Amino acid sequence: MSTPGPAFSVVILSLKTQGRITRPLLSLRSQEDCDFEVIVVDSGPASCAAEALDVRPDVRVVRSDTRLGPGAARNRGLANARGEYIAFMSDDHAATARWLVDRLRCHREGYPLVGGSISNGRPRNPIATAEYLLEYSALIPSREVLREQSIPHALSFSRSVFAALGGYPEDTLTGEDTLFNIRCLDAGLAVAFAPRASLAHFGSRRVSDMIKHAYNHGVGLAQCVSVHGLASDFDSAGDVRTVRCLGVGARYVLRGWFSKLARLRRTPRLLLPFLLLSPLIVSASAATAAGVCREQARGA
């Protein structure tokens, strides 16, 4: 007779190997009453396995000597998960106390998808704050804002979702979660939102790291557009001449800035930092546009 699995499987994607896995593992100690297992997907030449096991001896480490992309890493975690529900976090995240228990309540009410929020783990650091506002303004801990997402993110899933829809695409540098979440919406799956089910994001502390991170997001966006037909300001089948790409990129940056402004005007504590840090935010957004244009030019 098989032993029942835990309520949740928490899959941690170890993207930058050593020195980063301690924070997310320690944060899981504060989880309010919820039965869960922890799986660390550890890939690349330098392993975090010893560090992970030192912090949490019951963790299960899924090891790959080859560096896995985010889609492949998620799928490795899924293949080893035993929980009724699946939640993901990266090694630059820390879970708040209600991250799992609020998700569990919504799942037990019958929702196959539960969307949580992302908070800023470094609110006193201007670079990390700029990166947070650039990436996660649609995921602030507000039910109203979370419900406005055209494609919900920060999701947890019933195991049955993956049995029905398969796993994550493995052929993009970023955006694998967006593509899978669209698949869920197209299948008509219902989403509940739990603002207190929050992860704190510990973003970049150097401008160069922020720009590189944003550029890689652009490369991933271009791959999502060209390979998977993701709707975007950038169109993979079109002319990728420099002048046209500059024009599309400028429109992408401006539209993104104004959409964030409209969203954050309702959150005064975030509006002022957004305005003050706009030069950084715009620069990183431009780096994303550059990543798209460069990747499209490569594929042209």
- Assess if residue 150 is contained within a domain: yes
- Stretch (H or E) spanning 293: helix 278-299
- Assess if residue 100 is contained within a domain: yes
CATH number for the domain that contains residue 85? 3.90.550.10
Same structural domain, 196 and 213: no
Q: What is the pLDDT of residue 173?
A: 94
Same structural domain, 61 and 190: yes
- Assess if residue 18 is contained within a domain: yes
Among residues 167, 201, 235, the one where a domain terminates is 201
Q: How many folded domains does the chain comprise?
A: 2
Same structural domain, 153 and 274: no
CB contact at 8 A, 257 and 183: no
SS3 category, 261: helix
Same structural domain, 98 and 59: yes
SS3 category, 91: coil
Q: What is the pLDDT of residue 299?
A: 74
Q: How many CB atoms lie within 10 A of CB 190?
A: 12
Which residues are 198's β-sheet partners?
117
Same structural domain, 216 and 197: no
pLDDT in tens, the chain (300 residues): 455 789 999 999 997 666 789 999 999 999 988 999 999 999 988 899 999 999 999 999 999 999 999 999 999 999 999 999 999 999 999 999 999 999 999 999 999 999 999 999 999 999 999 999 999 999 999 999 999 999 999 999 999 999 999 999 999 999 999 999 999 999 999 999 999 999 999 999 999 999 999 999 999 999 999 999 998 887 654 555 665 777 888 899 999 999 999 999 989 999 999 999 999 999 999 999 999 988 988 875
Same structural domain, 194 and 214: no
Distance CA 124, CA 258 (A): 24
Among residues 175, 201, 227, the one where a domain terminates is 201
**Domain of 63?**
8-201
- Assess if residue 3 is contained within a domain: no
Same structural domain, 124 and 261: no
- Assess if residue 35 is contained within a domain: yes
Distance CA 21, CA 19 (A): 6
Same structural domain, 36 and 182: yes
- Assess if residue 1 is contained within a domain: no
- pTM more than 0.85: yes
Among residues 186, 201, 216, the one where a domain terminates is 201
Distance CA 75, CA 229 (A): 21
- Assess if residue 134 is contained within a domain: yes
